[in-house]
Amino acid sequence: MTNVLLVYSTLFCTSCLYVVALQCTSWGRWLATERTWISVVIGVGYVTAFMRLLGPAPEWWQWLTAWAVAGTPIVARSLYNELRRFEESWQRESAR
């Protein structure tokens, strides 16, 4: 069980670092906006690599958990950006 928690914890931290790279670096912002498919391939790649640490054939629920753990920071980033764009748009409309 300790190995499983370590894998999921490390996967979550990796996703958080990936989100920081996508949000705070010029190449990350370019990748996320102009080459979204590459950023998805990178994410799928590291989740798959982490799943191999759990063994040769993880159960379906382990895959589901891994995608939820890895996806949470990325979805949070997307929601943050969307809300920020909405707020900026609303402020522009209010200034008129």
What number of other Cβ atoms are within 10 A of residue 95's Cβ? 6
| Host domain of residue 8 | 2-95
Tell me whether residue 28 is exposed, middle or buried, using C-beta atoms within 10 angstroms of its C-beta: 0 to 12, 13 to 18, 19 or more. Answer: middle
Render pLDDT for 71-96 as a digit per residue (tens, 0 to 9): 999 999 999 999 999 999 998 888 87
C-beta of residue 10 within 8 angstroms of C-beta of residue 66: no
- Which whole number is the average pLDDT over 48-61? 81
Nearest to 72 by CA among 27, 9, 25, 24: 9
Q: What percent of the chain has pLDDT over 70?
A: 99
pLDDT at 12 over 90: yes
pLDDT band at residue 1, thresholds of 50, 70 and 90? low
What is the number of domains present in the chain? 1
* 15 CB-contact burial (10 Å; exposed 0-12 / middle 13-18 / buried 19+): buried
